[in-house]
Structure 1
């Protein structure tokens, strides 16, 4: 059996320009070249060769729930929470308690929030 590594996550978004601006504002991600096609899909680097692909689908119905999310790790969730507060982005713990972080049973601190299309994002300290 071959081995696998994570490559990218792709999200359908209503407005790709607004989504690019959101992810750059929140995570300071660098936009990189879409080497796969000449479509309007735009790519952001998540570092270490990992990517976030934002695919414009202005008429798509996007349905999500918190169990369907992607997670990014940082060394200091508290500092990231201050950043979210400065950007006036609401966040919660897993149980939907507003402005609350959560410490998992394994000791990892995390918060959840949504992007402009409603996708759930977890930020944790699992680094």
Structure 2
């Protein structure tokens, strides 16, 4: 009997506390290309967005300021990492590798290229070119 993920758990969403809901919504929509979706009637302090694979991020306007650390980050992948990097440069979004060297990628031991950058609230985001294949 397989015991790993015997309940079929799949990623549903992440929730982020943000200082300015409209600024954050614009970033995730215009830079990451996520689509705004219905927020289940939660009111004006909540915006929900989703990635191409339907994983959601719930943006919640709050005065609380959680500590930000690159080790705790959102991660997304794209087969068009070079194009995405060019898009970030054209939109003046600074990025770095995992060691903090600006305007460059790094390669993980498994051959995956990755970059890191921050959203308007300082949350770290990784984008890589992983294919996320089951192994």
Tell me the TM-score normalized by structure 1.
0.93
Which one of the candidate residues 13, 24, 36 is aligned to 1:31?
36
> Which structure 1 residue ranges, 4+ long, deviate > 3 Å from structure 2?
none
Taking the TM superposition and a 5 Å limit, the aligned residue runs for 1:40-51 are 40-51=45-56
Structure 2 equivalent of residue 109 of structure 1? 113
Contact 2:78 2:129 in 1 (8 A): yes
The residue aligned with 2:14 is 9
Q: State how 1:1-127 maps to structure 2 within 5 Å.
A: 1-35=6-40, 37-57=42-62, 59-127=63-131
Give deviations 1:13-58, integer Å, cap 9, x for gaps: 000111000111111211000116235210001133310110000x
TM-score by length of 2: 0.88
Where structure 1 has 5 or more consecutive residues not aligned to the other structure, the ranges are none
Distance in 2 separating the partners of 1:83 and 1:31 = 21
Q: Superposition RMSD on alpha carbons, in Å?
A: 1.2
**Looking at CA atoms only, which structure, 1 or 2, has the larger radius of gyration?**
2
Find the residue that maps to 2:31 and give its secondary structure: helix
